[in-house]
Amino acid sequence: MTVTPILQVDDLAIAYKTGDREQRVVHGVSFSVAPGEVVALVGESGSGKTTTAQATLGLLAGNGRVESGTIRLNGTDITNWSQKRLDSIRGAVVSLIPQDPGSSLNPVRTIGSQLAEVLQIHKRGDRRAIHARVIELLERVGLTPAEMRARQYPHELSGGMKQRVLIAIAVALNPALIVADEPTSALDVTVQRRILDLIDELRRESGTAVLLVTHDLGVAADRADRLVVLQNGRIQEQGGVKEVLAAPRSAYTRRLLADAPSLGKPRPARPGIESQDFAIEVTGLTHDFTVTGGEAKSFRAVDNVSFKVRRGTTHAIVGESGSGKTTAIRSIVGFIKPTAGRILVDGVDLTTLKGEKLRQFRKHIQLVYQNPFGSLDPRQTIARIVEEPLLNFEPIPAADRARKVRDMLARVGLSESFLERHPRALSGGQRQRVAIARALVLDPRVLVLDEAVSALDVTVQAQILSLLDELQKTLGLTYLFVSHDLAVVRQISDTVSVMHKGRQVDGGPIETVFGRPDSAYTRELIDAIPGRSLPVPGVPVLAVPSENPPRLSP
Amino acid sequence: MTAETATGTMADAPGRWTTRFKRVPVTLALAWAVVFIVLAWAALPSLFAGYSGTEGVPGEQLRPPSAEHVLGTDGLGRDVYARIVYGARHSLSGAFVAVTVGLILGTLLGLIAGARGGWIDAVIMRLVDSMLAVPSLLLSLSIIVLLGFGTINVAIAVGAVSIARFARLARSEVVRVRRSEYVEAAYGSGGTFWAVLYRHVLPNSLTSVIALAALQFGSAILAISTLGFLGYGAPPPTPEWGLLIAEGRNYLSRAWWLTAAPGLVVVLVVLSADRISKALGRTAP
């Protein structure tokens, strides 16, 4: 060994205590991070990647305990250091960029004072020197004008700006290692790209090593030098990014690679749709919100959006947070009345319906929510959840209802043993299957999917997407698929509308929009998608190759 | 499907329920024991007390606690233990009526305010606010003056005062649940306002309200005893707990057991209700 690694983890085992049982979640994990190197810990939820990262900072949750193994920082074993002793190295030698910028800053203190805090704790100079350093750091992470930003409170900043503050705090003392725990998962893709570029840049300047914790293989492939793939607390494989991606040795990595949506992959062939009639026709959809507080102002969330969706096809609405896509689909499913515009679903103008007529119409168009943890009533059993829509319309005998519920669950791939279980006993993917079953039990013609796979791990996401594909083929459903993830959209949609600040900036067939985007924004969006370094699959992911060019040049 | 079951991190959740039942905390077990004993007293007092609750034994006045009279006797020779046992029925039924009045009316008001919103919400909640602004004892006294004296009237008065607390809690819970996605999803699948209210909003808001009811049960006993002590409750021969404490007050220097024994029972029951309420509040999903 020529250089002492910054971080050396040997045979680490970590257990969490629940009740009076200890459950081991990390089993004998060993890896190292050399100076200036970016190592990505990749895995799905529950793989132990965050736990491992927290342990390297001595930040395990109260019920967590390092059972065995060692964590060496710059050659020093810190495994059994007290919290007080760890305080001296946290920030100075190793620092953290936390996952959620929204809740990682103190809302009642200015960002300048929060940035100064880390310098004060480690006694880096007097007040004047610290202030100068704060301004310098804010400028460094691109928060300008820095003097003004230093006086602002977290709520005055956007998510990306907050993440910049957290990065500034993390690099304030020039640590040798930065642990970045899903630093961009809560951010839009274009913001994600800028933040990751910033981390890259800071790293190159000061030679800091980065331990990047991520669920996104694309991000890891683009940004890391080496990959550590974790599953259920065990390392599946590790090695140089290029080697691992080019020739993954473990079956799990291969599956992750196959399931990760990426622009580099060939697009699955979509069945040719002969149908000429439109299931959804949206014309001039506009929605104003009145902003209360102070003088009444109105804010245009959706501005003159129009698109048509042929029966049996999938139309995607793509946009970042604040683009108005959620407002648009809430109008389309009839939860809010648009300010102007027409929404024809199956030839009926939804905007003219109200009361009982609207209620009756709801069986034709159903919505699947993003978060399967919030959209299912925790007190109901799965059987009750799927049955409920049937109770709202013409009475059906109980026996028929039960049969319908069982059929529908079978259709989404859940066995009868799920009938009497509660949502809390199900995984995220299983819950989303239940949500889809509930939406389909009324035999709707249009299914609106609001980021329906965004909260799921990639392998589960791939399963749900193939389920949706199969349901579309057998039931002739029309999908309106709302997503921020262009790679997913490209895989499953026929047509797309790109929304930006309430306006539709691009629209049309997928090939056209992705191949020759009209607007600069769409190009930026496509460029920002991580995963360019992912190999064009060496494993046969999808049987039918497409005539699409595998890589899109901007 | 197998891959997904593997990722099911909470697949063992039903198992956790059984373990939770196996290991009930000692304090909670004691609290339930106290409540069950007191309930048994109220149901079948003659089974637990050898003496009458109202008839004294001549010549046995003001006896200190002994083997014969576990908690001593009062100034008329009545067994204090028997009076407490017979009094359970009065105090508990009073508290029960009080909690029922508060729970039903308060939850209804809160439900309407939370579910309807708008000016209905504003009117109901301002009424509730003004109820909370008046000291509760003063408010119950005014209601008793309107309704007249007596055990049931005292209970209704105590219950009426708690309406405000129930309404506020129920409203905040309803508002929380109403904003959840599963409620919107229920409307989206064609549910009517009342169906959604009954199927989702009510069951999901009720956990905290039930916990408050248990807590309120304790304070109702206390409030009824207070009013009994002040002389607004049941007339004297009735062995109501507050009245027992009030009667004992005259003998405080000579016969401590007259006030200490019923006082202790009241404290124990109130604490138990408190403990049970805490446990109920935790079972929220």
Could you tell me the CATH number of the domain that includes residue B109? 1.10.3720.10
Q: Is B187 within 8 Å of A335 when comparing Cβ atoms?
A: yes
Q: Kindly state whether residue B78 falls inside one of the protein's structural domains.
A: no
- B54-66: per-residue pLDDT in tens? 776 667 777 777 7
Q: Kindly state whether residue B81 falls inside one of the protein's structural domains.
A: no
Percent share of chain A, pLDDT over 90: 5
Q: Which of A377, A411, A446 to mutate to test the interface with B (most CBs of B within 10 A)?
A: A377
Q: Kindly state whether residue B34 falls inside one of the protein's structural domains.
A: yes
B interface with A, Cβ–Cβ below 8 Å: 1, 3-11, 13-14, 16, 19, 180-182, 184-192, 195, 199-200, 203-204, 285
Nearest Cα residue in chain B from A457: B7
Longest dimension (CA), chain B: 83
Nearest Cα residue in chain B from A461: B4
Q: Which residues of A touch B14 (CB under 8 A)?
A: 421, 425
Lowest mean pLDDT: which of A118-122, A301-305, A516-520, B45-49?
Answer: B45-49
**What Rg value do the Cα atoms of chain A yield, rounded?**
25
Can the peptide bond before residue A145 be classed as cis, meaning omega within 30 degrees of 0? yes
Q: Kindly state whether residue B166 falls inside one of the protein's structural domains.
A: yes
Per-residue confidence band for A536, with pLDDT thresholds at 50, 70 and 90: low
Per-residue confidence band for B285, with pLDDT thresholds at 50, 70 and 90: very low
- Give the C-alpha separation, A285 to B144, whole Å: 61
Segment A269-286 mean pLDDT:
78
Token look-up 């077990």 returns B29
Nearest Cα residue in chain B from A231: B7
Q: Write out the E strands in A199-310.
A: 209-214, 226-231, 234-240, 278-291, 297-310
Quote the pLDDT of residue B1: 38
Residue pairs spanning A and B at CB distance below 8 A? 103
For CATH 3.40.50.300, the residue range(s) in chain A are 7-259, 278-373+445-528
Tell me the shortest Cα–Cα distance from B70 to chain A, in angstroms. Answer: 42
Tokens standing for residue A309: 């969706």
Tell me the shortest Cα–Cα distance from B282 to chain A, in angstroms. Answer: 15
Nearest Cα residue in chain B from A427: B8
Q: Which of B1, B9, B12, B189 to mutate to test the interface with A (most CBs of A within 10 A)?
A: B189
**Burial B134-173, CB ≥16 within 10 A → b, else e:** eebeebbbebbeeeeeebebbbbbbbbbbbbbbbbbbbeb
Which member of B6, B11, B187 has the closest CB to residue A425?
B11
Q: Which residues of A touch B203 (CB under 8 A)?
A: 379
Which member of A393, A421, A460 has the closest CB to residue B7?
A460
Q: Is the pLDDT score of B245 beyond 80?
A: no
Q: Is the pLDDT score of A551 beyond 70?
A: no
Token look-up 């006294």 returns B141
Tokens standing for residue B235: 């007339």
Lowest mean pLDDT: which of A232-236, B214-218, B278-282?
Answer: B278-282
Q: Which residues of A touch B180 (CB under 8 A)?
A: 374
Tell me the shortest Cα–Cα distance from A392 to chain B, in angstroms. Answer: 5
Q: Is A375 within 8 Å of B182 when comparing Cβ atoms?
A: yes
Segment B202-210 mean pLDDT:
85
Q: Is B7 within 8 Å of A425 when comparing Cβ atoms?
A: no
Cβ partners under 8 Å of residue A398, min gap 6:
none
Q: Is A392 within 8 Å of B188 when comparing Cβ atoms?
A: no
- Give the C-alpha separation, A6 to A23, whole Å: 29
Which member of A376, A392, A459 has the closest CB to residue B195?
A392
Quote the pLDDT of residue A3: 74
Q: Is B285 within 8 Å of A379 when comparing Cβ atoms?
A: yes
Q: Which residues of B touch A436 (CB under 8 A)?
A: none
Q: Is A378 within 8 Å of B204 when comparing Cβ atoms?
A: yes
- Give the C-alpha separation, A423 to B198, whole Å: 19
Q: Is A392 within 8 Å of B190 when comparing Cβ atoms?
A: yes
Q: Is A363 within 8 Å of B7 when comparing Cβ atoms?
A: no
Nearest Cα residue in chain A from B23: A19
Nearest Cα residue in chain A from B19: A19
Token look-up 């839009």 returns A188
Output the CA–CA distances (angstroms, integers) from residue A265 to A163, A262, A318, B100, in the order listed.
Answer: 31, 6, 19, 65
Q: Which residues of A touch B21 (CB under 8 A)?
A: none
Tell me, letter by letter, the H, E, C secondary structure of A366-431.
Answer: EEECCCCCCCCCCCCCHHHHHHHHHHCCCCCCHHHHHHHHHHHHHHCCCCHHHCCCCHHHCCHHHH
Write down the mean pLDDT value for chain B. 79
Tell me the shortest Cα–Cα distance from B150 to chain A, in angstroms. Answer: 42
Specify the pTM. Answer: 0.74
Tell me the shortest Cα–Cα distance from B22 to chain A, in angstroms. Answer: 12
Write down the mean pLDDT value for chain A. 83
CATH topology classification for A7-259: Rossmann fold (3.40.50)
Q: Kindly state whether residue B195 falls inside one of the protein's structural domains.
A: yes
Q: Is the pLDDT score of A30 beyond 70?
A: yes
Quote the pLDDT of residue A139: 87
Quote the pLDDT of residue A273: 62
- Give the C-alpha separation, B43 to A194, whole Å: 73
- A319-352: per-residue pLDDT in tens? 887 788 888 888 888 888 888 888 888 888 888 8
Quote the pLDDT of residue A272: 63
Q: Is B4 within 8 Å of A333 when comparing Cβ atoms?
A: no
Q: What is the dihedral of CA A223, A226, A231, A234, to 10 degrees?
A: -150
- Give the C-alpha separation, A94 to A88, whole Å: 10
**Burial A130-165, CB ≥16 within 10 A → b, else e:** bbebbbebbebbbbeebeebbeeebeebebbbbbbb
Nearest Cα residue in chain B from A44: B7
Q: Which domain holds residue B110?
A: 25-53+86-282
- A60-76: per-residue pLDDT in tens? 877 888 888 888 888 88
Q: Domains in chain B: how many in total?
A: 1
Nearest Cα residue in chain A from B179: A374
Tell me the shortest Cα–Cα distance from B254 to chain A, in angstroms. Answer: 52
Q: Is A335 within 8 Å of B10 when comparing Cβ atoms?
A: no
Q: Which residues of B touch A333 (CB under 8 A)?
A: 188
Cβ partners under 8 Å of residue B126, min gap 6:
none
Q: Is B191 within 8 Å of A392 when comparing Cβ atoms?
A: yes
- A398-415: per-residue pLDDT in tens? 888 899 899 888 888 888
Longest dimension (CA), chain A: 78
Surface-to-core class of residue B52, CB atoms within 10 Å of its CB (0-12 exposed, 13-18 middle, 19+ buried): middle
- Give the C-alpha separation, A422 to B13, whole Å: 9
Percent share of chain A, pLDDT over 70: 93
Q: Which residues of B touch A435 (CB under 8 A)?
A: 185
Q: Which residues of B touch A362 (CB under 8 A)?
A: 188-190
- Give the C-alpha separation, A375 to A387, whole Å: 15
- Specify the DSSP element, H or E, that contains A245: helix A241-246
Number of C-beta neighbours around residue A487 at 10 A: 20
Quote the pLDDT of residue B8: 38
Q: Which of A379, A391, A431, A480 to mutate to test the interface with B (most CBs of B within 10 A)?
A: A379
For the sheet with A76-77, list strands across it: A21-33, A7-18, A64-73, A76-77
For the sheet with A297-310, list strands across it: A348-349, A340-345, A278-291, A297-310, A503-509, A495-500, A314-318, A478-483, A446-450, A365-368
- Give the C-alpha separation, A356 to A368, whole Å: 22
- A165-177: per-residue pLDDT in tens? 988 888 888 888 9
Q: Is A442 within 8 Å of B189 when comparing Cβ atoms?
A: yes
Tell me the shortest Cα–Cα distance from B191 to chain A, in angstroms. Answer: 5
Nearest Cα residue in chain A from B5: A427
> Across-strand partners of A41?
A213, A228
Q: What is the dihedral of CA B70, B76, B82, B83, to 10 degrees?
A: -120
Q: Kindly state whether residue B63 falls inside one of the protein's structural domains.
A: no
CATH topology classification for A278-373+445-528: Rossmann fold (3.40.50)
Q: Which residues of A touch B189 (CB under 8 A)?
A: 362-363, 366, 388-389, 392, 438-439, 442
Which member of B11, B189, B204 has the closest CB to residue A388?
B189
Q: Is the pLDDT score of B14 beyond 50?
A: no
- B97-146: per-residue pLDDT in tens? 888 999 999 999 998 888 888 898 899 899 889 888 888 888 888 888 88
Which member of A367, A391, A457 has the closest CB to residue B7?
A457
Per-residue confidence band for A39, with pLDDT thresholds at 50, 70 and 90: very high
Tell me, letter by letter, the H, E, C secondary structure of chain B.
Answer: CHHHHHHCCCCCHHHHHHHHHHCCCHHHHHHHHHHHHHHHHHHCHHHHCCCCCCCCCCCCCCCCCCCCCCCCECCCCCEHHHHHHHHHHHHHHHHHHHHHHHHHHHHHHHHHHHHHCHHHHHHHHHHHHHHHHCCHHHHHHHHHHHHCCCHHHHHHHHHHHHHHHHHHHHHHHHHHHHCCHHHHHHHHCCCCHHHHHHHHHHHHHHHHHHHHHHHHHHHHHHHHHHHHHCCCCCCCCCCCHHHHHHHHHHHCCCCCHHHHHHHHHHHHHHHHHHHHHHHHHHCCC
Nearest Cα residue in chain A from B206: A379
Tokens standing for residue A416: 């009868």
Q: Are B39 and B221 in contact (CB under 8 A)?
A: no
Q: Is the pLDDT score of A153 beyond 60?
A: yes
- A356-378: per-residue pLDDT in tens? 888 888 888 999 988 888 889 88
Per-residue confidence band for A274, with pLDDT thresholds at 50, 70 and 90: low
Q: Are A30 and A12 in contact (CB under 8 A)?
A: yes
Number of C-beta neighbours around residue B236 at 10 A: 11
> Across-strand partners of A450?
A482
Which member of A46, A377, A425 has the closest CB to residue B204?
A377
Tell me the shortest Cα–Cα distance from A12 to chain B, in angstroms. Answer: 22
Q: Is B203 within 8 Å of A392 when comparing Cβ atoms?
A: no
Tokens standing for residue A218: 């694309």
**What Rg value do the Cα atoms of chain B yield, rounded?**
23
Taken in order A458, A460, A463, A468, is the CA torsion positive or negative?
negative
Quote the pLDDT of residue B53: 67
User: For A420-498, where are the alpha helices, taking DSSP H only?
Assistant: 428-440, 458-475, 486-492
Give the relative orientation of helices B80-116 and B118-133 as an angle to the nearest 10 degrees. Answer: 150
- Give the C-alpha separation, A544 to A542, whole Å: 6
Q: Are B20 and A18 in contact (CB under 8 A)?
A: no
